[in-house]
Amino acid sequence: MSPSRSARHAAALLVASATAASASAQSPPKLPDWSGQWENVGATPSPDGGFYEPLEQVLKELEWAPPSKPEVQAAVDKIVAAQRKAMDAMRKGVDPGGAVTACSFGYPALMIESPLMFEILPTPKETALIFSSREIRHVYTDGREHPGKDDLWPTAWGDSIGHWEGDTLVIDTIAVKSAFPGREGISVNAFGGIEEMQTVALLSPETRFVERIRMLDKDHLEDRITIVDPKNLTEPWHLRRTYQRVTHIHRMVYEDCEGEERNPIVDGKFTLTPAPQ
């Protein structure tokens, strides 16, 4: 090969190598396939609008134990005493009053103990978590930061940004407010049975949530949640939740908070009506 041909050949290789490197740098990361519907393990919805697991089982088997400051725990204990009294009244057929209607679970309830099905749709710039209550979490993975203080509006789902570490989605969420109108801060609750609820923790509006979601096997996802709230907690609170693949249904079916022909409300409880034949 002549020197001139050799030089041209070397130059062509350099151009091809640079082009391939540029394309590789610009190509989006390979995202995991988390298609299908998922549901929280330990929060199985029953046809009567409650949960198959009784409240005591939920409190025992799911990870709770928040490191609340003494004064915060005292406030939680006071709330729990009132809740227990109300549940005892309901078991006796007495309406204790004070019920609050809310059609949104909000965050972190959606991930910690929601009976809702959800789908995860990863894209290079955003991952959406879509729940059967029509709630959506938008996790922006395009490198943006949280909005500045003047542009940060608290919502029941907060503001979430994230990034991928291999097949693990890391999410950072701030600016969360209560899904219940008129309530200050964030109430973390455990649900079980029929109309059984117990407040587990009270978090401040300044709380930060960090999640690490990954697939354990083809039928299970894991979410490791770290809750940071120096105002109400003595140290970060670590939780782990597992989600299992829904096998009895193969598409998203949205629920109606007000009831409809597929899940009418009877005597104040959701019921299920079989699909038309």
In tens, the pLDDT along 9-61 reads 544 444 444 444 444 444 556 899 999 999 999 877 776 666 788 888 888 88
Q: Is the pTM of this model over 0.85?
A: no
d(CA 116, CA 122): 19
pLDDT, position 22? 44
pLDDT, position 74? 97
- Tell me whether residue 7 is in a domain: no
Domains identified in the chain, total number:
1
Query: 157 pLDDT band (50/70/90 cuts)?
Result: very high
- Tell me whether residue 22 is in a domain: no
Classify burial at 211, counting beta carbons within 10 Å of its beta carbon; exposed 0-12, middle 13-18, buried 19 or more.
buried
- Tell me whether residue 111 is in a domain: yes
- Tell me whether residue 277 is in a domain: no
Query: 118 pLDDT band (50/70/90 cuts)?
Result: very high
Name the residue range of residue 133's domain. Answer: 29-270
d(CA 203, CA 208): 10
Whether residue 96 is preceded by a cis peptide bond, meaning omega within 30 degrees of 0, is: no
Contact 229, 208 (CB under 8 A): yes
pLDDT-wise least confident of 46-50, 140-144, 200-204: 46-50
pLDDT, one tens digit per residue, over 241-267 is 999 999 988 888 887 765 555 555 566
Tokens of 183: 């309530």
| Angstrom distances, CA of residue 151 to CA of 60, 70, 250 | 41, 34, 39
pLDDT, position 236? 98
pLDDT surpasses 90 at 67: yes
- Tell me whether residue 171 is in a domain: yes
pLDDT, position 98? 59
- Tell me whether residue 6 is in a domain: no
